[in-house]
Amino acid sequence: MDRPSSHFRVGVDIGGTFTDLVVFNDDTGSFAVGKTLTTPRDPSQAIEALLRDTLERESIAIGDAQQLIHGTTLVTNAIIERTGSRTALLATQGFRDSIEIGRENRYELYDLMLEMPQPLVPRYLRFAVPQRTLADGTTLQELDIAYVEQLARELAAHGIEAVAIAFLHSFANPSAEREARAAIERIAPAMRVSTSSEVVPEIREFERTSTTIANVYVQDRVERYLRELQARLARLGFCGSLFLMISSGGIVTVDTAIRFPIRLLESGPAAGALAAASYGSASGYPDLLSFDMGGTTAKFCVIDHGQPLTALEFEVDRRYRFKKGSGLPIKAPVIEMIEIGAGGGSIARIDPLGLLKVGPGSAGAEPGPVCYGRGGTEPTVTDADLVLGYLDPDYFLGGQFKINLAAARQAIKERVADPLGLSLEEAAWGIHQVVNESMANAARIHTLERGKDPHSFPLFAFGGAGPVHGFRVAMALGSPALIVPFGAGVMSAAGFLTAPLAFDFVRSWPGRIDHLDWQKANTLLSEMELEGQELLQASGVPTGQISYRREADMRYVGQGHEIHVPLPSGQLDNASIPLLTSSFEEVYRRLYERLSPSVPIEIINWRVTASGPTPEVRIQLPRAEHTAAQEARKGNRKVYFPGGFRAVPVYDRYHLLPGMSFTGPAIVEERESTVIVGPDSRFRIDEQWNLVVELHTT
């Protein structure tokens, strides 16, 4: 990369095994990439080292980097591992157990050993506060401030670090929660406090309370991590802006991330989905199934008409990974995807029934797969891929990271092959196929549950391990094609650079559209737009570059759940009712194929998303020189496919030019990832430098 005085932006993706980095020059479109093992005890350490080394390698001054954007799994890990702050809950008197009662649903009706998700706050730290607000926002019983103050003293004395306040109907009137917060801050100013009316001012007490608890539970850990990262960047000489991606795909400042850390829950996976949507649309593939496989997990996301599908609620720390209701509900906008414990570091083992299982346990970055030589003893997917010949031990991460084939062979032989009475190659192939089928099954569930046909979506594979496994996963799904972008190994990091500064707001105010107070509705929307404007202006976005998207959660009167419907801009009044009705019916028909025209329609929640301008990421790909196809061939390597090993051509990704096409089987190598193309197929390089494998599945 050249080093003009240009506008550089940096995207960093912290995965469970590897940390990826992309440095992008907005003026020229040139870019550089870096990849290193994640440092689990302090992820900021890997960011510091990787940023320094990559910039030095490319002769870029740290002062020329004007933005660094990244996502983190810190929030997810803290909730799953239960390593957040000691937290208490203040609830309306008579409702302290609502968080555990939940919806009283059994997600598996006939399982007598059913394991329910455990709240982050144990019962002895949940307190009933004398106070009552009615559904219309009027006060039935004033808050007992003296009780809250005494409670704050006792909590502080017993080492409680955080408090979540979630009073009944606070979305309609937040005054009691604000008074309680002020009382706690007077008595225990060091204690962290989150109120539900600030974190998620939405109807539905259970989900609102669960989200508020999770927010304050991780707040201290997130702030300590982000402050440490800021300090490390400052020591390097970084003077630009640090931004975080949130689960909905926007980016926010550090201060906003610390205020609402629960919004970071799915920040890393969201970047991959955004990258798939952006690159897919630019390449003429607006409908895709995004497949991101790294060292620890695999993520799938449906990209529909150039946009990833989104949801307004999701679950974390599920007891059963495919069972809705088995996790803690989080009410926040999120790019909708399915994530399973299937990655390069997923551990292969023999279960008590003598069956081969792969994942969800992972060797991660420490100790990592056996072949890494960092103390790992359990065979992993990466070890199996190496034994099968899919990975070159001398070209892993471009040769900068040497891996040990002999150690991988020994581990698979001792732990899998010998106990099952299989040859080494059969055992390695079994590991490879088991993880492929697990991922294909997850993708199938994800697409079908959203009314999509997996046979109609090309598979867009990226991540360090995605291109290795993409061919077999696509075949199992019946996908029409496999698409692997240039730079697939760090694609998620590039996704951070495609997102605008954005934040979304919600207010619950139910009402039938034929009986609404339109003045109040317009005031509600205007207040949210003003809040968004102030937040983005504080982040450096000029007022004239801020845009707003209005939406509403609507349903037929009497239904239990809502659908997401766009709202028109401008003032709403009675003349807007036909447009609101037609918008609702269009979305409803698309989802359910039928309408109930005789039933009136109501709005439950009002939403506004405030966004800055979306960055234009026009990557300058390698110059298309006249290179003969045979010059791209690096040689042959013996690779295992069903039936045994065979000599397979190996191609250098950096010498494959648009218009070239080849027959499989083949291996295509680039620095951060390797593409496996199976037998009886063809692949080509399209005009956007994507590697496209045409699949003829039955």
pLDDT of res. 20: 85
Angle at 254 between CA 249 and CA 258, to 5 degrees: 95
Quick one: 8-78+223-264 is in which CATH superfamily? ATPase, nucleotide binding domain (3.30.420.40)
Which residue, 127, 118, 119, 117, is CA-closest to 88?
A: 127
pLDDT of res. 620: 65
Start-to-end CA distance of the chain, whole Å, equals 45
Mean pLDDT by 10 residues, the chain (698 residues): 64 83 83 84 88 89 88 83 93 94 83 86 96 94 96 96 97 96 96 96 94 96 94 92 91 93 87 88 90 88 90 83 81 88 89 88 84 91 95 84 91 94 95 94 89 90 93 94 90 85 92 94 95 90 93 93 92 94 93 88 95 78 59 90 92 90 92 92 90 78
Is residue 498 within 8 Å of residue 308, measured between CB atoms?
A: no
- Sequence-distant (≥ 6) Cβ neighbours of residue 76 within 8 angstroms: 265, 266, 316
Residue 359 three-state SS? strand
3-state DSSP percent of the chain in helix, strand and coil, to 5? 35, 25, 35
What's the rounded Cα separation, in Å, for the pair 406 and 547? 57
pLDDT of res. 534: 93
Q: DSSP class of residue 636?
A: E
H or E element: which one contains 647?
strand 644-652
pLDDT of res. 619: 64
What's the rounded Cα separation, in Å, for the pair 527 and 544? 18
CATH of 502-611, one of 3.30.1490, 1.10.8, 3.40.1350, 4.10.240: 3.30.1490
CATH of domain 83-220: 3.40.1360
- Sequence-distant (≥ 6) Cβ neighbours of residue 578 within 8 angstroms: none
The 3 state secondary structure assigned to 230-276 is: HHHHHHHCCCCEEEEECCCCCEEEHHHHHHCHHHHCCHHHHHHHHHH
Which residue, 135, 200, 211, is CA-closest to 173?
A: 135
Domain positions in the chain: 8-78+223-264, 83-220, 502-611, 629-694
- Sequence-distant (≥ 6) Cβ neighbours of residue 446 within 8 angstroms: 300, 301, 302, 337, 338
pLDDT of res. 365: 74
pTM reported for the whole predicted model: 0.87
What's the rounded Cα separation, in Å, for the pair 395 and 537? 47
| 452: Cα within 13 Å, side-chain hemisphere | 23
Is residue 501 within 8 Å of residue 607, measured between CB atoms?
A: no
pLDDT of res. 61: 86
